[in-house]
Structure 1
């Protein structure tokens, strides 16, 4: 298990071929019985009379990577995982594109699913990552993450 510090950031949208390649690399790992994958996609949210066309992500990279390493360590302590990968976009990501890819693998599905969900929740709360919503009319505002318990 590699639980060390890694740079989780990729420039721009996370391409489907990148995701497929990461999944394919696990085919030879015969102790894995389950994968849980979360893909965060930019939505065309309506804010008043404006529509989001993209989000521009920025971060405090060194701190975010240190914090993500701490989260990884605690996740590996809680769940019996084979591996876990996290990638988050920086820069501009357009509506319909992937901005977050979390991939947890384990011998059994419950550990992979629970770990994946916890990682997503924690990184949204704990990592210094900011998103500026860019609207179709070329105006912008800082994105506010909504409470996951709110109705959708």
Structure 2
């Protein structure tokens, strides 16, 4: 019996608009799908104490995060009648304006896709060992809170 392969959700660097567009385009031939829900997390250029965020440097305890994401994936598929689920999270330095998280769910109807997507995003933020260090334009930094 072969071991189950755990999907790698991590991408080095920002998630490109072309990657997102290609992911969406690949679903055009899947005619059992009637609804998609997409969440894209984008780095904000927040002003904190008079300094502007230039980007976020993401790190993760990858092995644990992937194992936990696999368990979350299984739970979401049991809870919602999804056709597809795709999760991609950036690692490394992501500049303000770039996409760092892409969650894409599909189902026969819109409601399960929307609810599953929302739950996935909340659980990724709350449960996975992924950390972001805000890098300011003056090259100082601080650890970011997951809110």
TM norm. shorter chain > 0.5:
yes
1:5 is displaced (CA, Å) by 2.1
- Partners of 2:37 and 2:5 in 1: CA distance: 20
1:141 is aligned to 2:135: no
Structure 1 residues 103, 4: CA separation in 2 closer, same or farther (over 3 Å shift)?
Answer: farther
Matching of residue 94 in structure 1 with residue 95 in structure 2: yes
* 1:4, distance to aligned residue in structure 2 (A): 5.9
Q: CA RMSD in A?
A: 1.1
Once the two structures are superposed, the pairs formed by residues 8-47 of structure 1 within 5 Å of their partners are 8-47=9-48
Query: Which residue in the other structure is 2:109 paired with?
Result: 108
**Distance in 2 between residues matched to 1:108 and 1:15, nearest whole Å:** 27
Look up the match of 1:117. 118
CA shift digits 1:87-128 (9 cap, x unpaired):
000000000000000000000000000000000000000000
| Residue 72 to residue 118, structure 1, CA distance change in 2 (3 Å) | same
Q: State TM-score, norm by structure 2.
A: 0.96
- TM-score relative to the length of structure 1: 0.93
1:75 match: secondary structure: helix
Structure 2, unaligned runs of 5 or more: none
Cα distance in 2 for partners of 1:56, 1:9 equals 13
- Structure 1 CA distance for aligned equivalents of residues 72 and 146 of structure 2: 19
**Runs of 4 or more consecutive aligned structure 1 residues displaced over 2 Å after TM superposition:** none
